[in-house]
Chain A
Amino acid sequence: MARKNKPEVKEISYAKWGYLFIAPFFIAFVVFQLVPLAQTVYYSFFEYYRSGLTVIGPTPVGLDNYKELFNSDFLKYFGNTVILWLAGFIPQIVVSLLLAAWFTDVRLKIKGKQFFKVVIYMPNLIMASAFAMLFFALFSNNGPVNATLVSLGILDHPFRFLSSVAGTRGLVALMNFLMWFGNTTILLMAAVMGISPSLFEAAELDGCSPRQTFFRVTLPMIRPILVYVLITSMIGGLQMFDVPQILTNGKGSPDRTVTTLIMYLNNHLFSKNYGMAGAVSVVLFVICAILCLLVYFNLNPTENDRKIKKRDRFKPRKEALNG
C-alpha cells in the first residue's frame, strides 16, 4: 500500500482480523486443492504412468493426452453422465414440487406430514456405496426382486436388470432419485412456506385455481431455491461415481453405457496413469466451469431484473383513454 504522506491516522482497523479469520480456509484450499489442481494440469501434458513395477517417467508429450482423450469415448461418457443425471433429476424435481405443493396446500390438510418428511429424507443419509451394493444384491438375476416379480406372476422369467442398458441406467437413476428427492422436497417446502400466506389468498380472490396458483404464484416465488437445487444437483450429477461404480463394479456394463466421467477418471487413476488422469481432470474442470457460469448467469433472477421482458411493458394507447 502506498505510504500516505500525512501522519498515520491512528484509527482502530479490524481489517487484519478479517484476513486472519479467512486465512485457514484459504491456506487449506491452496495446499489441498489449488496446488494439486496445478499439478494435475501440469502432468496432463506429460506421458507419466506406472506399468507394473516400472514407472514410465514424466516425459513431455504436449497435447497427445488430449488428442487420445478426444478419440476415446470421452463424449460418450459425458453423455452417460448427463443422461444418468437427468433421468434421476427430472423425476426428483417433479415429485418434490408436487409434494411441496401438496404439503403446503392448506386445503388438503394432509395428516402425518412429519412422518412422511422423516421417511422420504432417510435415503439421503444412506451410504451411496451401501445403497448400490444393496441394489446389486436385490436386482441380481436370481435376487429377491426377480423372485418376487416371478412369484407374483408379473414376469415369467427373471428379468436380467444388470445386463440391460435401460435396466442398469434405470437402477442408477432410481437410486439417485430416492437419495435426493426427500432433501429437495423439504427445501422446496421451506421455500413455499416462506411466501406470505396473503399472497395465496390474493391469488384465490383473483380467481386462481390451485393449479394456476401453483404455476403463476408459487413457482415464480421459489425460483431462487429452484436455481440453487438445479446447480447443486448438476454438480452432484457431474461427480456421480459411487453408485454406478459399485453397481457395475467399475465396468459400467453393459457396453460401458453406465460409465460416468469420474469412473473413467478413476480407471486411469487406479492404474496410476497420471498423464491421462490429468487430461481427463482438466477437461472435466473446463466443462464444470462452463456449465456453472452458464447456469449462474442466465438463471439467477437478481441479475436480469433491470431488463424487463418486452411483453410486460405497458403501452399507453391514446385512443383507449376515455377518462
Chain B
Amino acid sequence: MKKGFKAVLSLALAGAMIFGMTACGGGGGEEASGEAGKVLNIWCWNDEFQTRFNDYYPEVKEVAEDGSTTTLNDGTVVNWIIEPNEGNNYQNKLDEALLNQESAAADDKVDMFLVEADYARKYTNSDSTMNIADLPGVLDATSDQYEYTKEVVSDADGNVKGVSWQACPGLIAYRRSIAKEVLGTDDPAAVQEAVADWDKFAETAQKMKDAGYFMLSGYDDTFRPFYNNDAAPFVEDGKTLNVDKNIMDWVAMTKDYTDKGYNNKTSLWSDDWNADQGKDSKVFCIPACTWEIDFTLTGNADPDGTKDPAQSAWGDYAVCVGPVNWCWGGTWLTAATGTDNADLVADIMTKMTTDPEILNKIATEKGDFVNSKSVIKDLAANYEGNDFLGGQNHYALLSDAAEGLSLKIASPYDQGIIEKMQAAMKDYYDGTVDLDTAKANFEKSIKEIYPEIETVNWPK
C-alpha cells in the first residue's frame, strides 16, 4: 500500500502543477509584436526623449497609437520601456534587467537606457555602459558639447560613457504680471537685479509677501541651486555620507521662508505645486532649469494647450539667471553593454545629440538648451524669442552661464539621498518635527534604501 500511495501522491502534485501551468498559459503574454526586423529596447523614466526622438529623428517611419513603440524606416521596432523615477523604482527595474542581460533573448536585451545626473555615476562607473569611443563616429562628434555634460558621465579613468542632447543651466522663471505689479517692471535685467543674490532674493520675497503673493511655491524649489554648489559629492567612498554645509543653509533658509510665509508649502511634483504654475496662482517665481520650461512649466501654465494669454499663463513667464549658477538633471543616452544593435544606437546618439540642424529644431520648437556651443551662440544672436516666455530670447541670457556649469558633485546615490532629504525636511518645515528628528528620519530612510552606507555626517 505504501509504494502505491507515493506514486499517487506525486501524480497529484504533477497534476496540480500542470493544471496550474496550462490554465494560465495565456498569462505569459507574448513579446512586443514587431515585424521581422530587430527590436530596440530603450529604457527611460518619462517620455521627454521619446517625444523628441519621434519628432526629429529622421529614420522614424510611424509611431504606435498608444505610444508604446516607434517603427523605423528599416523595420526596426523601438520599444519604449518607461518606469517612474520615484523611490529608485526606475533604477531597481533597470538593474534587474541589466543583471540578466546575458541570459535575456536578443530582442529582450536592453539596448539603450537613459540616465539622469543624480545616478549617472552609478552606471558610468560600472561596466554595464559601453565606452562612447567604441561606438563608431560618436565621440569626435561631441567636440562641440559643453564640457560639464561629458565630465559627469566619464568613468574613473576618463572614458566618456554617455552623451546628452541638452545642457540644463538653471534659471528663475517669474510671472511678468506679478513682477510689473510689485517691482514695477517685468524686464529680465531689472528682475535679475532684484534677485542677484540670496539677500536681495529675500528682500524681494518680503515685498512679494506684503503685496499678498508668495515668492516661491514649494520647499524643494531652491534645493537644486544650493545642492549644485556643494563643495563635494554626498558619497565618495561608498560608505560614508557627508551632508554639505550648503544643504544645511538651504534647510535654514527654507524654514525661515516657510515661517515668514514666503512659500506656499507645497512639495515638488505634487498637484498643488503644479497648480501654483497656473494662471491664477499667487506664486511669483520658480527656480527651473531649461528642460523644466518645456516639460513642466508649459504643461502647468497652459493645461489645455490654448496658447492664449487670456485663458492661461502663456506668455506671462520670463526668465533671469537668479542668485547663483546651477544646473539640474539632464538626460544622458548610454549604450548598454551587450546590445545587439550597436550601430543603430551609435547613429541615434550622433544624430540626436550632435546634429546641429536637429538640435536647432529641438531648441526653437521645444525650448531646450541644446548641448552644442555653436548652435547656442547662433541662437543667442538671432533667435527671435520664445513665445511661451513672452518673446524673450533666453538663450542670450544663458550662453556664457552654461560654460561655467559643473556636476562634479554628483554621486551614484544622489537620486535616493535628495529624495529622502526633501521628504525628511518637509516634516521639519511643516513644524511636525524638530530638526534633529528630521535628521534622524533622514538617516533611517538612507539605511533602508542604501544598506552599504554606514555613517551619515552632519556639518557643524
Q: Cα distance A245–B445 when bound, in Å?
A: 15
Residues of chain A within 8 A of B18, CB atoms compared: none
Residue of B nearest to A24 (CB): B16
Q: How far is the CA of A164 from the CA of B212 in the complex (A)?
A: 26
Given A51-B450, A272-B92: A142 touches B423 (CB 8 Å cut-off): no
Distance in angstroms between the alpha carbons of A264 and B445 in the assembled complex: 10
B451 touches A271 (CB 8 A): yes
In the complex, the answer to whether A271 meets B88 with C-beta atoms within 8 Å is yes
Contact with A256, one of B12, B123, B441 (Cβ below 8 angstroms): B441
A27: interface (CB < 8 Å): yes
- Roughly how many angstroms separate A66 CA and B449 CA in the complex, as a whole number? 18
> Closest residue of chain A to B426, judged by CB?
A253
> With A and B bound together, what is the CA distance between A167 and B271 in angstroms?
19
Write the B11-29 contact mask toward A (1 if CB under 8 angstroms, else 0). Answer: 0110010000000000000
Chain A interface size, as a band, is: 35 or more
A232: chain B residues at CB < 8 Å are: none
Chain B residue contacts of A304, Cβ below 8 A: none
Nearest-neighbor residue (CB-CB) of A54 within chain B? B126
Q: Is the CB of B9 within 8 A of A19?
A: yes
- Interface: A73 (CB within 8 A): yes
A52 touches B95 (CB 8 A): yes
State the CA gap A23–B448 with chains docked (Å). Answer: 40
Residues of B within 8 A of A59 (CB): none
Whether the Cβ atoms of B98 and A53 lie closer than 8 Å is yes
CA distance A142 to B426 in the complex (A): 18
CA A173 to CA B435, docked complex, whole Å: 28
Q: How far apart are B233's CB and chain A's nearest CB, in angstroms?
A: 15
Cα distance, A33 to B288, chains bound together (Å): 50
Option from A20, A51, A254 in Cβ contact (under 8 Å) with B433:
A254
Interface contact A51-B452, CB-CB below 8 Å: yes
A16 CA to B5 CA, complexed, in Å: 7
B266 contacts partner chain A, Cβ-Cβ < 8 Å: yes
Bound Cα distance A254, B8 (Å): 56
Determine if B432 is an interface residue (Cβ-Cβ < 8 Å).
Answer: yes
Contact with B along A144-167 (1 / 0, CB 8 A): 000000000000000010011100
B209 interfacial contact with A, CB 8 Å:
no
Report if B52 contacts A (CB, 8 A).
no
CB of B192 closer than 8 Å to a CB of A = no
Query: Are B430 and A52 closer than 8 Å at their CB atoms?
Result: no
Are B423 and A27 within 8 A (Cβ)? no
Instruction: Please encode chain B, from 78 to 105, with 1 for each CB lying within 8 Å of some chain A CB and 0 for all others.
Output: 0000000011100110010011000000
Query: B residues within 8 A CB of A251?
Result: 423, 445
Dominant secondary structure of chain B at its interface with chain A: helix
Contact of A223 with B by CB under 8 A: no
Within 8 Å by CB of A50, from B95, B122, B444, lies: B95
C-alpha gap A163/B444 in the complex (Å): 19
Kindly list chain A residues whose C-beta atoms are within 8 Å of the C-beta of B126.
Answer: 52-54
Give the interface of B toward A (CB within 8 A). 1, 5, 8-9, 12-13, 16, 86-88, 91-92, 95, 98-99, 122-123, 126, 128, 265-266, 270-272, 275, 412, 423, 426-427, 430, 432-433, 437, 441, 444-445, 447-452
Q: Are B92 and A255 in contact (CB under 8 A)?
A: no
For residue A273, CB closer than 8 A to chain B, the reply is yes
**Cβ of B437 and Cβ of A52 under 8 Å apart?**
no
B128, B270, B437: the one contacting A255 at CB < 8 Å is: B437
Q: Is A181 an interface residue (CB 8 A)?
A: no
Most B-side CB within 10 Å, residue of A16, A52, A251: A52
A–B complex contacts, Cβ < 8 Å, 24 sampled: A16-B5, A16-B8, A20-B9, A24-B12, A24-B13, A49-B451, A50-B95, A51-B450, A52-B126, A53-B122, A53-B123, A54-B126, A140-B272, A160-B430, A163-B427, A249-B86, A254-B432, A255-B437, A255-B441, A256-B444, A268-B448, A271-B88, A272-B92, A276-B451
In the complex, what distance in Å separates the CA atom of A253 from the CA atom of B419?
Answer: 13
Q: Is A141 an interface residue (CB 8 A)?
A: yes
Q: Tell me whether B272 and A23 are in contact (CB under 8 A).
A: no
The listed residue (A16, A140, A272) touching B271 by CB distance below 8 A is: A140
Contact B272 A141, beta carbon cutoff 8 Å: yes
Given A16-B5, A254-B432, decide whether A53 and B128 contact each other with a Cβ distance below 8 A: yes
Residues on A with C-beta less than 8 A from B8 are 16, 20
**Residues from chain A with Cβ under 8 Å of B270 in the complex:** 140-141
A302 proximal to B (CB < 8 A)? no
Contact residues in A for B12 (Cβ distance below 8 Å): 20, 23-24, 27
* Of A50, A142, A143, A271, most B-chain CB atoms within 10 Å: A271
What's the Cα separation between A276 and B451 when bound, in Å?
9
Q: Mark A16-60, 1 if CB is under 8 A from B, else 0.
A: 100110011001100000000000000000000111111010000
**In the bound complex, how far is the Cα of B296 from the Cα of A108, in angstroms?**
59
How far does the alpha carbon of A142 sit from the alpha carbon of B427 in the complex, in Å? 19
A114 at the interface (CB under 8 A from B): no
Q: Is the CB of B427 within 8 A of A253?
A: yes
* Docked CA distance A19–B1 (Å): 12
Complex alpha-carbon distance, A151 and B451, angstroms: 48
Whether B432 lies near A164 (C-beta < 8 A) is yes
The answer to whether B444 touches A53, judged by C-beta atoms less than 8 angstroms apart, is no
State which of A165, A270, A271, A272 has its C-beta within 8 Å of the C-beta of B432: A165
What residues of B have a CB within 8 angstroms of the CB of A160 in the complex? 265, 430
* CB contact under 8 A between A255 and B13, given known A52-B95, A141-B266, A271-B448: no
Which residues in B have their C-beta under 8 angstroms from that of A264?
448
| A212 at the binding interface (Cβ < 8 Å) | no
Q: Mark A249-271, 1 if CB is under 8 A from B, else 0.
A: 11101111000000010011011
B450 touches A53 (CB 8 A): no
Contact in complex: B441, A270 (CB < 8 Å): no
C-alpha gap A20/B99 in the complex (Å): 42
Cβ of A322 within 8 Å of any chain B Cβ, yes or no, is no
- How close is B254's CB to chain A, nearest CB, in angstroms? 15
- For A249, list chain B residues within 8 Å (CB): 86-87
Which of chain A's residues have a CB closer than 8 A to the CB of B432?
Answer: 163-165, 254-255
> Using Cβ atoms and an 8 Å threshold, which residues of chain A touch B451?
49, 51, 56, 271, 273, 275-276
* A167 CB to nearest chain B CB (Å): 10
Q: Is the CB of B275 within 8 A of A142?
A: yes
Nearest 4 A/B pairs, CB to CB? A267-B448, A51-B452, A254-B432, A163-B430
